[in-house]
A and B are shown apart, each in its own frame.
Chain A
Amino acid sequence: MEHTPILIVLVPLTSALLIPFLAMGGGRFARAGLLFATAGSLLSSILALRASLEGEVLSYHVGGWPPPWGIEIVIDPLSGVMATLVSFLAVLAAFYSGPYLSGWTARRTGTFCSLFALLVTGLQGIVVTGDLFNLYVFLEISSISAYALLSSGGSKSVVAVFRYLLIGTVAASFYLIGVGYLYAMTGTLNMADMAARLPETSDSPVIVVAVSFIVIGLAIKAALFPLHGWLPDTYTYAPGPVIGFVAAVMTKVSAYALYRILFYVFVAGTGPREPLLLLGWASVIAVVAGSLMALAQKDVQRMLAYSSIGQMGYIMLGIAIGTPLALTGALLHVVNHAVMKGCLFMVVNGVQWRLGVFRVRDFAGMGRRLPLTMAAFTVAALSMIGLPPTAGFFSKYYLALAALESGYIPFLAALILSSLLGAVYFFRVLEKVYLSPENVEKTRDTSELPLPMLAPILTLAVLVLLLGVFNQTVVTELIQPGLPS
């Protein structure tokens, strides 16, 4: 039991190492290995989360060295919730990838599954670590595996991913040089230790520079407008099972890292508001620009990609306002958006996998053809727009309340405007789905998606409703214990 914090990372890691050997017996074994990896990580995350909710922060000293000399793994309610979220979506994506991988050779399947498990390892490592440099190492594990997975979607995706690789490496270098400045000023890399030592030097301009570099680096990774350049192409051409997972959690994990560093290392809640306000304005632009650009897209997957940029704006906006109410909204939106965007991307990729279509007008009449899938799509889309009682309504509600309470009226206006725009571009699709006649040729196989694909989609759709209906419980039991005291 005392080792659960490390198992969150170790189970997917060890499985990833064994998958190449399992693949020698056939692709099925590799997929089973991936399922084991993600499920094991989920189980450890839930156990760790439960322990942390009972009031104690789990601190695990890797190698038996006490921090700040050794590396510390920290499970508080916040990282517990994030770890559970990441591994839960990973389990669903592992199921979802089954039909997609069925035509592949065993070795290629093995490589794919191994990299997927390493991606989960990297993200979980970022979530649970309490050390700034360790975060960089796991950031790179997740990035490199994501580059490879995202580029397996055809030659266009390779070009997009190369650009992502360059930008992602610049982001990581920005982060690392920020950490270097902090190390120069404090002599430590442990987050808690640094938080204790920073007040001695907080007047120095070096700290301001360090913060800007770290924020810029992680904002690039989180695709905050105008640093989002890598996202649309990468998401549009990415293969299905990967994008369902990556779009759902990868940018969120970066946003989580940013939140953790800002509020647990720099203790931004107590300092001056102005630097955060800058982030706030950037987020407002992101919210509006993302929605406007989503409106202009003909390709559904690209539309979802731009919508993600807008939604990341919401999360950053909550972090920038920085009051407990706003942070509640931001964290709730991290969970909600992961669930609904995961669902939407899985639906769209399922349609593309089954019917080979991806434009908005090709979705005509899809409601009769794939009724269950489209029902899930509708639920998730309504939640993206923010209609009660779906999950999306409540996180937006908290964010709007926080903006109102702190007197940032332009922020509130942006939230409302983007919700309206969201309604326009999602109803454009829904109108095609339910009200237009079918226009795909009859010869194609038009039955529902296979169960391994349908089950994760429906699970996420139901979860969207559950998160909405029981949102009060979620907020008081899971989100609020994770706020900085």
Chain B
Amino acid sequence: MEAETLSVVNYWLAASLFLIGLYGILARPHLVRKLMAMNILQVAVIVFFIILGYKSDATPPIVRQGDETPIARNYINPLPHTLMLTAIVVSVSTTGVALALLIRIHRRFGTLDESELIEKLK
């Protein structure tokens, strides 16, 4: 496959993941599923950034032993990886807080289904 097509397919994969997440949040009635969809959405962003960092014929961004003068061409871009480490941590934290909220909701209302919940809130 030529590089252009491969590139577009990769971007489309990230976009599809993003859309799966968005769809889940908009359409699924169960709150836990919404939360899982939210995680997929965040993973999509992470995948997208990692794609941006890749270079053909380059190695991971760790200076090889004996390489006195590293050249940018030989290593992949470390910046997106760093940024996504942050994004992963944010994703974990948000999930933790969301789970805590869900436990509170379940203790109080005994259900995590959105329509039942709306019914009970009235």
Q: Does B74 contact A (CB under 8 A)?
A: no
Within 8 Å by CB of B94, from A144, A151, A177, lies A144
* A170 touching B94, Cβ below 8 Å: no
* A180 touching B97, Cβ below 8 Å: no
Q: Mark B85-104, 1 if CB is under 8 A from A, else 0.
A: 01100100110011001101
* A165 touching B101, Cβ below 8 Å: yes
* Distance in angstroms between the alpha carbons of A147 and B98 in the assembled complex: 9
* B90 touching A140, Cβ below 8 Å: yes
Give B102 Cβ to nearest chain A Cβ, in Å. Answer: 7
* A173 touching B94, Cβ below 8 Å: no
Closest to A69 in B: B79
Within 8 Å by CB of A166, from B18, B38, B52, lies B38
* B34 touching A166, Cβ below 8 Å: yes
Give B52 Cβ to nearest chain A Cβ, in Å. Answer: 5
Given A147-B97, A184-B52, the answer on whether A159 and B121 have CB atoms closer than 8 Å is yes
Contacts of A155 in B (CB 8 A): 104-105, 108-109
* B101 touching A162, Cβ below 8 Å: yes
Specify which of A155, A161, A180 lies most central, judged by the most chain B CB atoms within 10 Å of its CB.
Answer: A180
* A147 touching B101, Cβ below 8 Å: yes
Give A484 Cβ to nearest chain B Cβ, in Å. Answer: 27
Give B114 Cβ to nearest chain A Cβ, in Å. Answer: 9
* Distance in angstroms between the alpha carbons of A165 and B100 in the assembled complex: 12
Contacts of B102 in A (CB 8 A): 162
In the complex, chain A residues 171-187 whose Cβ is within 8 Å of any chain B Cβ: 172-173, 176-177, 180, 183-184
Count the A-B residue pairs with Cβ separation under 8 angstroms: how many? 72
* B48 touching A180, Cβ below 8 Å: yes
Contacts of A177 in B (CB 8 A): 18, 44-45, 48
Q: Does A368 contact B (CB under 8 A)?
A: no
* B105 touching A170, Cβ below 8 Å: no
* Distance in angstroms between the alpha carbons of A370 and B50 in the assembled complex: 59
Q: Mark A436-477, 1 if CB is under 8 A from B, else 0.
A: 000000000000000000000000000000000000000000
Interface size for chain A: under 10, 10 to 19, 20 to 34, or 35 or more residues? 20 to 34
* B97 touching A165, Cβ below 8 Å: yes
Task: Tell me what chain A mostly uses at the interface: helix, strand, loop, or mixed.
Answer: helix
Q: Does A285 contact B (CB under 8 A)?
A: no
* A183 touching B52, Cβ below 8 Å: yes
Closest to A145 in B: B97
In the complex, chain A residues 286-338 whose Cβ is within 8 Å of any chain B Cβ: none
Contacts of B105 in A (CB 8 A): 155, 158-159, 162
Contacts of B87 in A (CB 8 A): 176
Q: Does B25 contact A (CB under 8 A)?
A: yes
Q: Does B76 contact A (CB under 8 A)?
A: no
Within 8 Å by CB of A159, from B38, B42, B97, B117, lies B117
Give B6 Cβ to nearest chain A Cβ, in Å. Answer: 16
Contacts of B48 in A (CB 8 A): 177, 180
Q: Does A59 contact B (CB under 8 A)?
A: no
Q: Does A108 contact B (CB under 8 A)?
A: no
Q: Mark B10-32, 1 if CB is under 8 A from A, else 0.
A: 00000000100110010000010
Contacts of B93 in A (CB 8 A): 140, 144
Contacts of A180 in B (CB 8 A): 45, 48-49, 52
With A140-B90, A170-B22 given, can you name 8 additional A-B contacts, CB distance below 8 Å? A133-B83, A140-B94, A155-B108, A162-B105, A166-B35, A166-B98, A169-B41, A180-B49
Closest 9 A/B residue pairs (Cβ): A155-B108, A162-B101, A158-B104, A140-B90, A176-B45, A173-B41, A184-B52, A173-B45, A177-B45
